Amino acid sequence: MHPATAKWYDRRDSVFIEFCVADSKDVKVNFDKTKCGFSCLGGTDNVKHENEIDLFEAIDENESKHKRTDRSVLCYLRKAQPGKAWPRLTKEKAKLSWLSVDFNNWKDWEDDSEEEMGNFDQFSDMMNNMGGEDDLPDLDGADDDESADSDDEKMPDLE
């Protein structure tokens, strides 16, 4: 039996774990208030994978789900306390060789206050309402040589 390679990332109300097993069969995912269990047969040689994770915080096991694809099994774990960041997936601080952070999906959402997000939306609206090139004043003769500034003298050639 081998643990499946997994990646995880944190969101405001949930945690996602992706078990990277191609062509998985007999997938079993068990959600408990403080644990997540995963097992399957994977690949053409039907290797048995099994993982058990003591979670950092409690989850709502009734709202947690999983979805199998040809390449992996994605688990959605609903946090029992939404809005609380998880600095790691596991209760223990030990580094697990089969577990890594999914930096492609990671987002430091805890730094995004609701007020800042509202300000960003207002800023976007303001930028959209400012208008484009059609609203620029007509600058007749701005590119004409005869309207050059008086201090624009011809520079001597470089030697």
Domain carrying residue 73: 1-90
With respect to residue 138, please indicate whether it lies within any of the assigned structural domains.
no
With respect to residue 23, please indicate whether it lies within any of the assigned structural domains.
yes
Pick the closest to residue 109 from 83, 132, 133 (CA basis).
83
Note the pLDDT of residue 30: 97
CA angle 18, 24, 30 (to 5 degrees): 60
With respect to residue 143, please indicate whether it lies within any of the assigned structural domains.
no
Is there a contact between 77 and 110 (Cβ–Cβ < 8 Å)?
no
- pLDDT tens, position by position, for the chain (159 residues)? 799 999 999 999 999 999 999 999 999 999 999 999 999 999 888 999 999 999 999 999 999 999 999 999 999 999 999 999 999 999 999 999 999 999 998 877 666 555 444 454 555 565 555 544 444 555 555 555 555 566 677 778 887
* The pairing of beta strand 6-10 with beta strand 99-101: parallel
Is there a contact between 41 and 61 (Cβ–Cβ < 8 Å)?
no
CATH classification of the domain holding 24: 2.60.40.790
Task: Give the three-class secondary structure for 38.
Answer: strand
For the whole prediction, is pTM greater than 0.75?
Answer: no
Note the pLDDT of residue 43: 85
With respect to residue 148, please indicate whether it lies within any of the assigned structural domains.
no
With respect to residue 146, please indicate whether it lies within any of the assigned structural domains.
no
Look up residue 100 and give its two tokens: 């890594």
What does the alpha-carbon distance between residue 64 and residue 24 come to, in Å, rounded to a whole number? 20
With respect to residue 105, please indicate whether it lies within any of the assigned structural domains.
no
With respect to residue 67, please indicate whether it lies within any of the assigned structural domains.
yes
| Number of domains into which the chain is organized | 1
Q: Which residues pair with 100 in a beta bridge?
A: 7
